[in-house]
Structure 1
């Protein structure tokens, strides 16, 4: 079933996100921005956690999570330990919500807003995996460019 594959992908990449956050030699560098790089690795990490908890946890799992998207990009200097805790909680949410989805659930229409084109829940979940990997790549590149002692 597709949900088994999605769980494996989300777990793989959320664990890789934890590896990336841990790999910063200077925790403050998680929050660096520079010309041409407008989002820090810290903010991208908060964005990924917020995105998944909103679209999977709250929307599909009725978790009660309330997203504050503006804070995903405006908060700064969140301790690494807090970010790791949030990623761990997101992993637990994924492992709790996705196994509950049936094939019928995956075939249902999923709309983030009323003006959006038709898509299935299955399509949107696959989209969320690619969204995660896109930002994960940005975080990896951010770390290799800006996590220096210069």
Structure 2
């Protein structure tokens, strides 16, 4: 199961990288248009923060410190920095996911979600669907802007 999840996370983070690179004008990553409330740049920062917090820090024991409000308020982060953060997140996942034990997967996740009533395995699947939800938003944003 972890091998499949690792492949899916990597595939989708590569797609995130591709979407960020596909913006013709780098400044457009930060545009908000019509009723879209988040820019692609902010959604990218949010996904990076989300994965590094829940998988890197909570499951892998990294020293990542999340600043969730900054994920949505930071602006004009260079595309190169976003790409570096995506690549660092890919590397983090490749180092942590394969090393999670079946005991860790079976443990209840933190009380931050659903009162701690779901397993870490369930939460890893939830995080993958969260990644894809926002990846779709970024794709739509890019096509609307470009």
**TM-score normalised over the length of structure 2:** 0.97
Counterpart-to-counterpart distance in 2, 1:118 and 1:4: 24
- Match of 1:43? 42
CA-CA distance at 1:115 after TM superposition: 6.4
Q: Does residue 75 in structure 1 map to residue 74 in structure 2?
A: yes
Listed one character per residue, the Cα deviations across residues 57-99 of structure 1 (whole Å, up to 9, x for unaligned) are: 0001111000000100000000000000000000000000111
Look up the match of 2:8: 9
- Structure 2 spans left out of the alignment, 5+ residues: none
The SS at the match of 2:109 is coil
- CA deviation after TM superposition for structure 1 residue 146, in Å: 1.1
Q: Conserved in 1, the CA contact under 8 Å of 2:109 and 2:116?
A: no
Q: Aligned partners of 2:113, 2:106: CA distance in 1, in Å? A: 18
Structure 1 portions without partners, runs of 5+: none
Which residue in 2 is equivalent to 1:125? 124
Number of residues of Structure 1 aligned to a counterpart in Structure 2: 146
Per the alignment, residue 93 of structure 2 pairs with 94
Report the more deviating stretch, 65-74 or 29-38. Answer: 29-38
Contact between 2:42 and 2:74, CA under 8 Å: does it hold in 1? yes
The structure with the largest helix share of the pair is: 2
- Residues in 2 aligned to 1:37 and 1:99: alpha-carbon distance in whole angstroms: 36
Residue in 1 that maps onto 2:51: 52
2:17 matched to which residue of 1? 18
Structure 1 segments, 4+ long, off by >4 Å, are none
User: What is the Cα-based RMSD across aligned positions, in Å?
Assistant: 1.1
